[in-house]
């Protein structure tokens, strides 16, 4: 009985593979109508049930689609020739404060190599990321650079990345990577070390009541938090979960500001706040100011990314340098190596960029208070 079931499974799987090969190879083109179930049944010597199972797999994977009363048709998945001289760049935001410089770095390298760039953004939405990948799979691109959306959360559209692999389209992750895909090429900041360096700097200034504000749904936020915890533990300071404010993509514009203001107005003990990035740091400073606390006289505040905001804000931010343009160049160079040689230069497919502390005006020594 088991042997009979395995034989049936092999039949529909084999039929599915044969039809998929015709689609990928271009024998069946976008819009072409597939033979009917009866025709496929006769041609391959299998039952209609076997045909139905094979077609269902192909439909779920996006290779074909059915129209009621008309039949089944080949989807607009193109053959990827890998000679189009087009690459795609997918980021969470295009207008965000660091991404224009990242894209500038990518463009510098790729334009020099004769490639054109197709830009997409996901607004840090998993649904929109899946849609972007589906659209790109229908275009003839030679490679992809992608910043994953909500990289801390389990990826539920792995099938789309698997399809990139199947079409032999190389891709490089920047700024984060899904846990299921940690073996894939990536260019990242060493965010754990960055969180550690900036917290250690505050401890060295004599701060002891250090709050943290971190993003919960990406690996950057999680790793910066790990660095913050490590610095506290190394200095013998206790970690208090009530001293950490977690926020998500959807509430980033309001939650950090509101929570810090509430804590300040309630008289919460704090002499410093480590922030997820420069944008959050500016909102934290606004919350503290409105609650009657002065930065840096009463509370020191740090950012992350060394964006233009860090220098242009009313209180110039102590922060961690983010080599935005360099990161883009490194990602582009890695992708070029993957497209040309099938592997990164030197075989190193995971690069961590060393963080650097940038000291400005938003922190003040507390050593006289010890």
**Signed CA dihedral, 104, 106, 112, 114: sign only:** negative
Same domain, yes or no: 160 and 236: no
Distance CA 170, CA 172 (A): 7
What is the pLDDT averaged over residues 251-275? 96
Q: What is the pLDDT of residue 140?
A: 84
pLDDT at 202 over 50: yes
Nearest CA-CA partner of 319 in 309, 328, 327: 309
pLDDT at 30 over 80: no
| pLDDT category of residue 142 using cuts at 50, 70 and 90 | very high
* Cβ contacts of 56 within 8 Å, gap of 6 or more: none
pLDDT at 8 over 90: no
119: its two tokens? 């830009």
Distance CA 129, CA 124 (A): 8
Structural domain count, the chain: 3
Residue-wise pLDDT for 38-85, tens only, equals: 999 999 999 999 999 999 988 887 788 888 889 999 876 555 666 789
Same domain, yes or no: 27 and 101: no
Q: Is residue 270 part of a domain?
A: yes
pLDDT at 238 over 90: yes
Supply the mean pLDDT for the chain. Answer: 91
Same domain, yes or no: 168 and 199: no
Between 215 and 4, the more confident residue is: 215
pLDDT at 1 over 70: no
Same domain, yes or no: 67 and 103: no
Lowest pLDDT segment from 13-27, 185-199, 287-301, 312-326: 13-27
Distance CA 231, CA 344 (A): 34
* Cβ contacts of 316 within 8 Å, gap of 6 or more: 310, 360, 361, 362
What residue numbers bound the domain in which 262 lies? Answer: 191-322+357-369
What does the chain come to in residues? 370
Same domain, yes or no: 247 and 315: yes
Same domain, yes or no: 213 and 121: no
* Cβ contacts of 73 within 8 Å, gap of 6 or more: 31, 32, 33, 34, 64, 65, 66, 67
pTM above 0.85, yes or no: no
Residue-wise pLDDT for 268-317, tens only, equals: 999 999 999 999 999 999 999 999 999 999 999 999 999 999 999 999 99
Nearest CA-CA partner of 149 in 168, 169, 130: 130
Residue-wise pLDDT for 87-97, tens only, equals: 999 999 887 67
Residue 367 to residues 203, 204, 205, 275, 370, Cα–Cα distance (Å): 10, 9, 6, 22, 5
Angle formed by the axes of helices 2-25 and 37-44, nearest 10°: 110
Q: What is the residue-wise DSSP string for 158-200?
A: HHHHHHHHHTT--EEEES---GGGTTS-EEEE-HHHHHHHHHH
Same domain, yes or no: 215 and 269: yes
Between 68 and 251, the more confident residue is: 251
Q: Which of 188, 204, 227 marks a domain boundary?
A: 188
Q: What is the pLDDT of residue 82?
A: 65
What is the pLDDT averaged over residues 158-165? 90
Distance CA 147, CA 126 (A): 11
pLDDT at 6 over 60: no
Q: Is residue 309 part of a domain?
A: yes
Contact by Cβ (8 Å): 148, 129: yes
Same domain, yes or no: 244 and 315: yes
Q: What is the pLDDT of residue 7?
A: 47
45: buried, middle or exposed (CB in 10 Å: 19+, 13-18, 0-12)?
A: exposed
| pLDDT category of residue 4 using cuts at 50, 70 and 90 | very low
Lowest pLDDT segment from 1-15, 183-197, 265-279: 1-15
E strand or H helix at 362 = none
Same domain, yes or no: 25 and 116: no
What is the pLDDT averaged over residues 18-40? 84
Q: What is the pLDDT of residue 134?
A: 86
Distance CA 134, CA 138 (A): 7
Long-range CB contacts (within 8 A, 24+) of 346-351: 349/184, 349/185, 349/186, 350/185, 350/186, 350/188, 351/186, 351/187, 351/188
């Amino acid at each position: 009985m088991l042997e009979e079931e395995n034989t049936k499974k092999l039949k529909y799987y084999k039929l599915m593979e044969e039809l998929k090969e015709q689609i990928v190879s271009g024998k069946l083109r976008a819009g072409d109508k597939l033979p009917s179930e009866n025709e496929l049944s006769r041609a391959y010597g299998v039952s209609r049930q076997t045909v139905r199972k094979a077609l269902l797999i192909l439909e779920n994977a996006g290779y074909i689609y059915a129209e009621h009363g008309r039949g089944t048709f080949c989807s607009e998945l193109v053959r990827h020739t890998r000679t189009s001289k087009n690459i795609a760049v997918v980021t969470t935001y295009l207008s965000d404060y660091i991404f224009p410089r990242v894209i500038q770095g990518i463009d510098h390298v790729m334009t020099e190599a004769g490639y054109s760039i197709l830009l997409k953004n996901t607004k840090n939405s998993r649904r929109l990321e899946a849609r972007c990948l589906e659209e790109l799979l229908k275009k003839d691109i030679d490679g992809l650079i992608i910043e994953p959306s909500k990289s801390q959360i389990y990826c539920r559209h792995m099938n789309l990345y698997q399809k990139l692999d199947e079409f032999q389209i190389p891709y490089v992750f920047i700024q984060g990577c899904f846990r299921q895909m940690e073996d894939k090429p990536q260019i990242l900041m060493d965010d754990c070390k960055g969180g550690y360096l900036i917290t250690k700097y505050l401890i060295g200034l004599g701060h002891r009541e250090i709050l943290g504000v971190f993003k919960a749904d990406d690996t950057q936020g999680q790793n910066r938090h790990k660095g913050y915890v490590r610095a506290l533990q190394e200095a013998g300071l206790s970690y208090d979960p009530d001293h950490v404010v977690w926020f998500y993509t959807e509430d980033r514009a309001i939650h950090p500001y509101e929570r810090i203001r509430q804590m300040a107005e309630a008289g919460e003990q704090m002499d410093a706040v480590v922030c997820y990035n420069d944008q959050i740091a500016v909102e934290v400073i606004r919350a503290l100011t409105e609650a009657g606390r002065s930065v840096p006289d009463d509370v020191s505040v740090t950012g992350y990314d060394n964006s233009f905001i860090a220098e242009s804000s009313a209180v110039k931010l102590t922060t961690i340098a983010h080599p935005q343009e360099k990161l883009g160049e490194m990602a582009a160079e890695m992708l070029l190596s993957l497209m040309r040689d099938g592997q990164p230069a030197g075989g190193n497919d995971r690069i961590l960029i060393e963080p650097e502390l940038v000291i400005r005006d938003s922190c003040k020594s507390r050593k006289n208070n010890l």
